[in-house]
Structure 1
Amino acid sequence: MRRAGLGDGAAPGSYGNYGYASSGYNACEEENDRLTESLRSKVDAIKSLSIEIGHEVRNQNKLLSEMDSQFDSTTGFLGSRMGLSC
């Protein structure tokens, strides 16, 4: 991060932007922009991950439902073959 008053060519004592030294204000703005972009990329990654988790949960629920149905049919089949009532 750049330091206030170093290397941006601002005249000493020139103030703008609500009393902040121009170079200091610009450095803060650049840092804010960098941090905002970093946060945006993290939010995008979390959003993508949550969507993938949602797809995985739906697939797992479908498989569990199919397994439950198969167990029910197997239980009914075995029960009828062995003379058990379920």
Structure 2
Amino acid sequence: MRRAHAGNYYEPLPQNSNEIEDENDRVTSELQEKIGVLKSLSIDIGNEVKYQDKLLRDIDDDMDRTGGFLGTTMSKVLKLSKGSHNYYILYLFVFSIVVFFILYLVLKFR
């Protein structure tokens, strides 16, 4: 509709009403297609967010368990180091030297 000058009433546009309805139908169908694409995209984004949230929660749980296990292990090592058996490190060093020497002999004379 056009706006008339100086007090005149609105007049319809000089087009065929069937053309306008066809154009409206075409634009409506295009809009429905775009809305459908946006809806499926938002659903996919929501599913991805849920999946990533689950992964992050699993990682957080694993880190909590690992932290607890590491804390327990460190407390046992500290308790062991404070004990009266101070030669454990020396025994471990000698054992590792013997094992490496045996491996060297096996690989050399193989």
Distance 1:34 1:67 in 2: 49
| 1:36 alignment partner in structure 2 | 35
Residues 26-53 of structure 1: CA deviation (Å, up to 9, x unaligned): 0100000000000000000000000001
Counterpart of 1:82, as a letter, is S
Distance 1:23 1:79 in 2: 83
| 1:55 alignment partner in structure 2 | 54
TM-score by length of 2: 0.59
Report how far residue 14 of structure 1 moved. 1.7
Percent of paired sites with the same residue: 10
2:19 paired with 1:27: no
Dislocated runs of 4+, deviation >3 Å? none
| 1:77 alignment partner in structure 2 | 76
Distance 1:14 1:36 in 2: 26
| 1:5 alignment partner in structure 2 | none
| 2:17 alignment partner in structure 1 | 14
Distance 1:28 1:52 in 2: 36
Structure with more helix by fraction: 2
2:65 paired with 1:66: yes
Distance 2:68 2:42 in 1: 39
| 2:8 alignment partner in structure 1 | none
| 2:4 alignment partner in structure 1 | none
Matched pairs, number: 69
Give the alignment's Cα RMSD to 1 decimal.
Answer: 1.8
Structure with more strand by fraction: 1
Counterpart of 1:13, as a letter, is N
Q: Which runs of 5+ in 1 are unaligned?
A: 1-11
- Computing the radius of gyration over CA atoms, which structure comes out larger, 1 or 2? 2
